[in-house]
Chain A
Amino acid sequence: MASKPFSARALTVTGWLYLILGYGLLMLPILTLVIFSFENSRFPTLPWTGWTWSWYQEMFTDGTLIEALKASLFVSPLAAAIATVLGFFGAYALNRFEFRGKQPLTILLIVPILVPPLILGVAFLGLLSRVNLQGQLYSILITHVVILLPTAIALITLRLMQMPKAIEQAAWNLGATEWQALWRVVLPWTVPGIAGAFLLAFTFSFDEFVIAWFVSGFEPTLPVSIYNFLGSNLSPSLNAIGTLVFLLSILLLVGVELLLIPMLLNKPTRSR
């Protein structure tokens, strides 16, 4: 360990400075959003002209953004739930069984996340408009499940891989059927993975713009409504809704910190 203390120290200091700068840039837009939702002037810039609640009032009286938020809060949890349930069964089968064509199947299940939403948006619209399913909240729901499935499957697989195979085998040996073992042993073990997958899926869906823009009609989700707002009348209501969304994000983040991060940092303990 002959590295010079000075250079090691300089490296540490540089590292900290870099981290502070990095965190500053990462947080800058979010802080801007929250702070300027209370700024008096219609144009969010310096100098500061005073505090106000009026943008929150405007957001609620205008109601467009709130309606969109409601639509999003209907679509996203539902899409995330469907994706998580389907994903759990898929992940379980992929993790436990070996069969012919497993690899191409895995690729099929993962590849939707590699296709840009722009392309999927056009594709979904093409298909849905042929069967007259476009322009409804359900259209967004159906299509969001597709892009949420890969992350759900990936995260739940990660959790399943951390499960010692012996647990399930012990259940079989003790007389449980496969279904019972799945329901009463594997499922409880996977709960953190399922919950983490749900949170991530919810976030993806809640934030998804392009697909929703293509297939939505008169019931836009929040990102689409915000986009329409940006095009027409810039208003600090956007900052106000942003602050609301930010509060929701903090709740999600706590869940992520409790569920997702431990799972990602855990090393897989695969035993047969």
Chain B
Amino acid sequence: MRLSLNRPTRPPDEASLLKYFCLAPVVIYDSLFFLLPLLFLVWIGFWTVENYQAVPGFSLTNYIDIFSQLFSRSRYAFAIAQSLWVAATTTLLGLLLCYPFALALAFVVPPKLQRFALVLAIAPFWTSYILRLYAWQTVINTNGLLNTLLMKLGLIDAPLQIIFTQVGTRIGLLHYLAPIMILILYLVVCNIDVTLLNASKNLGATTWQTFWRVLLPLSKPGLVYSAVFGAIISLGDVLSGIILGGGTGKSILGSFPLFSTVIFNEYAASTNLPRTSALATLLIGIMVVILAAGLQFSAVEE
């Protein structure tokens, strides 16, 4: 006689095959098609090219060549600096623009409308990125919509040079980042306990003090996630730097391409896979250092 009361609330067979059945596919897939390619990438970086054929081996040729060209010819150091500069400024701008947007979404929009407003804000993310960049080209071109409009209004005499500068690159990146940053920040702000904000006000804090001493510190996880997301995307993105930045867009650092653009274009021009792999490995190194430093920094601040 089996009494349901005596039944265990867990299947007795803890060593069942279900766990392995569920985990094996993803683990095998990621090992084969994620870990293996990454290890391969690092290894190929040490190969050489003879007669347009990649030759397996272990040689430092690629790295010696890359490091010898840090400041001459390909000038990789300048490209890396440009990438860091554009990524840092874009991420910061993204936070400065999206955080107030998320706050307005959470506190100004009536609760009933908020869901719709949120969907509207993340809508651009669902349309093609490359097509959005192409559309931005139409807008910021030398004789594009913005310049035509401003000149018709008599606000400027000569067209503004936005396209094919790093300002253009940033516009494209920001348009990609904004929906996600807004979503992350909105979700974090929404989960903040409103009683804390009311308590601060009741205790006599001004709106500004409540923002600075209560709301902002509580939003920190959202700000950190958004910043990490912004930095990773900005450092790795290829399209905006090419389509809006024109490859070697000008910034206050000078007319240098982004490092990601360099990697992409070098492969397009040479199809030299070992050397491209070495450059990509270098990019991994740079990103690991930056992320570690950034997370360290945000942890120390606390």
Contact = CB atoms under 8 A, between A and B. Distances in A.
* Chains A and B come from one and the same complex: yes
Interface of A: 1-3, 7-8, 11-12, 15-16, 18-19, 22-23, 25-30, 32-33, 36, 43-47, 86-87, 89-90, 92-94, 97, 99, 105, 108-109, 112, 114-120, 122-127, 129-130, 142-143, 145-146, 149, 153, 169, 172-174, 177-179, 182, 203, 206-207, 209-210, 214, 222-223, 226-227, 230, 238-239, 241-242, 245-246, 249, 252-253, 256-257, 261, 264-265, 267
A23 B130 contact: no
20 contacts: A19-B108, A25-B175, A29-B132, A89-B26, A105-B27, A112-B30, A118-B236, A118-B260, A123-B37, A127-B36, A127-B40, A142-B33, A143-B33, A173-B4, A177-B11, A203-B126, A207-B130, A230-B134, A238-B131, A257-B115
Interface stretch (B58-66, B67-75, B97-105, B212-220): B97-105
Interface of B: 4, 7-11, 13, 16, 18-19, 21-23, 25-27, 29-30, 33-38, 40-41, 44, 97, 100-101, 103-105, 107-109, 115-132, 134-136, 138-139, 141, 143-145, 148-149, 152, 175, 178-179, 183, 187, 190-191, 198, 201-202, 204, 206-207, 232-233, 235-239, 243, 260, 263-264, 267, 273, 276-277, 280, 283-284, 287
Nearest to A172: B11
A93 B19 contact: yes
A207 B129 contact: yes
Given A45-B145, A112-B30, A261 B118 contact: yes
Contacts of A146: 29-30, 33-34
A127 to B, nearest CB: 4
Given A18-B101, A116-B260, A89 B21 contact: yes
A86 B29 contact: yes
B287 A116 contact: yes
Contacts of B263: 118, 122
A26 B26 contact: no
A261 B115 contact: yes
Contacts of B237: 116, 118
Nearest to A108: B30
Contacts, number: 261
Contacts of B18: 93, 178-179, 182
Given A173-B7, A238-B131, A26 B139 contact: no
Contacts of B129: 207, 209, 223
A33 B104 contact: no
B128 to A, nearest CB: 5
Contacts of A257: 115-116, 119
A3 B200 CA distance: 11
Given A127-B33, A230-B134, 12 more contacts: A2-B201, A32-B135, A109-B30, A118-B283, A126-B41, A145-B33, A149-B30, A174-B4, A178-B18, A242-B134, A257-B115, A264-B187
A254 to B, nearest CB: 9
